[in-house]
Amino acid sequence: MSRTFHEDDRVFGLFQPTELVKLCGVNQGRWPVYVVKELLDNSAAALEEHGIENPMIHVVVSKDGVEVGDSGPGIPDGILDKIMDFSKFGGSNRHHKLPTRGSQGNALATIVG
């Protein structure tokens, strides 16, 4: 299986509910859970990347929202601007096109990463 790398117009994808469903793979009612899962994944990846001893992730749920934090070094200077630039995809993971649902190898691709 080969991966095809591409660039996407992030603005359209982030502001259209149907496109957000495609992007995250969950229906609109599950978006809060998806967002928390992504924040936990980001925290775990950062802790591992920086080799933090005794890593800790905390989650605080209140009537005002959800806070996810960790014992890592934080978001590096200049990265927050890139994260908030809605005109293009950002982050340390390259976006790629994988087989669609039902295609042979999709489960394996999910397990292998």
pLDDT at res. 69? 95
pLDDT at res. 96? 45
Give every residue of the chain whose pLDDT is below 70, as ranges. Answer: 1-13, 88-113
- Residue 109: both structure tokens together: 């691709």
pLDDT at res. 12? 66
Helix (H, G, I), strand (E, B) or coil at 65: strand
pLDDT at res. 5? 46
Is the pTM value of this prediction over 0.85?
A: no
pLDDT at res. 111? 42
pLDDT at res. 102? 46
Closest CA to 15 of 83, 81, 65, 86: 86
Q: For the chain, state the CA radius of gyration.
A: 16
